[in-house]
Chains A and B, each alone.
Chain A
Amino acid sequence: MALLEARGLSVRYGGLFANNSIDLECRAGQLVGLIGPNGAGKTTFIDAITGFTPVSSGEVVFDGVNLNDKAPNVRVALGLSRTFQSLELFEDLTVRDNLLVVAQRPKWHSVVTDVLWPGRDERKYHSQVRWALEMLQIESLAEAMPSDLSHGQRKLISVARSIVAKPQLVLLDEPAAGLDTAESHLLGERLRGLLAQDMSLFLIDHDMGLVLNVCDYIYVLDFGVIIAHGTPSEVRANPTVIAAYLGDSAGEAQAREGAALLSRESGSDAQSEMNQ
């Protein structure tokens, strides 16, 4: 039973099909990856799933609910959460408050209780925040301001923020971009750790290495079209993928080289993206 299902999903920006009739499934308890070069439409796909960009055709079903026409925050309430490629932390709030504001689900009477007795039933949320920080091993950053932290730490905070409300499925937009190999490896481990917590993950990256290592299932996107999907070893061996990335058809041996090459390239891409 698929947790998230995209059926024939298309997103158009003017004349450009950023996503073209994408069919994709995320199963509960799995870590599904989506790879593709810069501009392939990966972020657009997450935007479409989470309601940040209008879908021109096709539909998104999450946990048996059709998400089309649902506002982003409604989708979040259903258990769908995301990070942003550009992090988009709340720069004016401490790390703790960044998480707390997301963990907390307001009720209709929240205003009244807040005015009379602020922080009355926040204990539960505080323990959720502690849990999320522990999952990513960044408890020590709780009182810091995001702007004082390093890029790698900020990435971890954005991941922590996306899991703090204990969603069913987390969509991660390039969480490893700009991290060095060791950091990215560590991140992969922590993500696998999340799976054990009843959470499913959807990971976007153009770092082939990370995706091939940690994912259970992989989709490959190019120019808005899914060109291949399968288990990591299937994808690694897939001639279309190799063709798309290398421009010629080659054997399996080359594919591994290709993957390595690609991850190096994308690393430098991410670097330049950051520099901008």
Chain B
Amino acid sequence: MAVSQSSLNLTLKIWRQAGPDQPGRFDTHEAKGIPDSASFLEMLDIVNEGIITKGGDPVVFDHDCREGICGTCSMVINGMPHGPKRGVTTCQLHMRSFRNGDTIWIEPWRAKAFPVIRDLAVDRNAFERIQQAGGYITVRTGSAPEANSVPVPKDDADASFAAAACIGCGACVAACPNASAMLFTAAKLSHFNLLPQGKPEADKRTLAMVRTMDEQGFGNCTNHYECEAYCPKLISVETIRQMNRDYRNASARETAGV
């Protein structure tokens, strides 16, 4: 049976910016004959081929795995980070989610802490710095420990696993009206703090990661919960509650010196 396939003609308004300190603007590009089975990134590939053929500069955008696991693809589509489908990254978004004749606005994550490198690509090293401040556990490497020697309650394992689904794409920051990185930081914290292996360093980790997050120039969570609604991995703001609690307790213990 033949799979029916139709094609779309679209008008794209794409943010073009030559460099971090350059002014940017929306340029109009016509995208003709896009198969509705193409992914959003494949659609941009087709558009770029057309631009290159005409001798222009292709639109720069970040991508790597194209299967929703690396978190590299990042763009705001019609005001929506990763586009209109819930729980889906841009690379996994298909053109059948759009209609023939649509105008699509495409722009980069907008946050002071994520400066634009070029066009749609932004510098997300601020996330790396938060991660390096405590997003790990200290273990002796070499021989692997016996897997069942540390019992983990099922609920904690599940909650930690759900938090560990974070791919660090930055959609939470892009979606937050305050450009806050609290969902990302909280997901990384819950990932480790909930597990017995992460508990010994939980206070140190929480203080270090929150303080590093604050230094990057992100905004502060005011409980709009837009992050949760746009996270491609559907990470819950329950992690932010846990971070608020852990930071409160860790600060109290640090002040008291225990």
Query: Does chain A bind chain B?
Result: no
**Could you tell me which A residues sit within 8 Å of B by CB distance?**
none
